[in-house]
Amino acid sequence: MRTLLTETELQKGVSKMAAKIEETYSGRQLTIVGILTGSIVLLADLIRLIDIPMRVGVIEASSYRGATTERGELTINSELLIDIADRDVLLVDDIFDTGHTITRVIEKMRELGPNSIHSAVLLHKKERQEVDYTPDYSAFHIPNEFVVGYGLDYEDMYRNLPFLGVLEEADLEKHASLA
């Protein structure tokens, strides 16, 4: 596996993004909502780095299943979502790829009456973007490569890696032999 971003690089990028978020919301209470499951690592790091009053919740959204890297039908489950009415909300996701997931989740959340909704992503793949929306905060812009680690997965594996890696053919063959 080839390393795209080291653990140290990830920490620095997330810290810089957290500082910008904290500056924006200084003096206000924030409701941070992570999109399950990929945002868990980023969400945990952000809430420890942002020193303002906050509420934390999650929403489930998925458009990838199994070994595919192609987007499928998006499903959104908001049953786990905390009350966001009349709140300033920061939606956190692992990656902004085509942009369809985050824009659809924002649409769904707007129906619940928040004061504002902004977004923060660890990674932004500008080359793959298909929607007219740009995340308010992003830690890194990356090339159009399939990445794992720091919450991102391949077949629900590799989320625990402390770095961001690019799976190569040998990694996929090894993965397939363990399945």
Distances from the Cα of 30 to the Cα of 35, 69, 109, angstroms: 16, 33, 15
Q: Is residue 102 part of a domain?
A: yes
Q: Does residue 150 lie within any of the structural domains? A: no
165 located within any domain: no
- Please identify which residue in the block is written with the tokens 């923060």: 120
Just list the catalytic residues: 97
- Look at residue 86 in the predicted model and tell me its pLDDT: 97
Q: Residue 177's pLDDT is what?
A: 76
CATH number, position 107? 3.40.50.2020
Q: How many domains, in total, are found in the chain?
A: 1
Q: Mean pLDDT of successive 10-residue segments in the chain (179 residues)?
A: 97 98 96 96 98 96 59 76 96 96 94 97 95 97 96 94 93 77
pTM of the model: 0.90
Tokens representing 167? 């799976």
The angle formed by the CA atoms of residues 148, 152 and 158, to the nearest 5 degrees, is 55
Q: Does the residue 179 lie in any domain?
A: no
pLDDT at 68: 47
- Give residue 48's domain range: 8-63+71-142
Query: Cα dist. 159→20, 31, 42, 84, 94 in Å?
Result: 26, 24, 11, 28, 11
Q: Is residue 94 part of a domain?
A: yes
Residues forming beta bridges with residue 33, ordered by sequence position:
57, 91
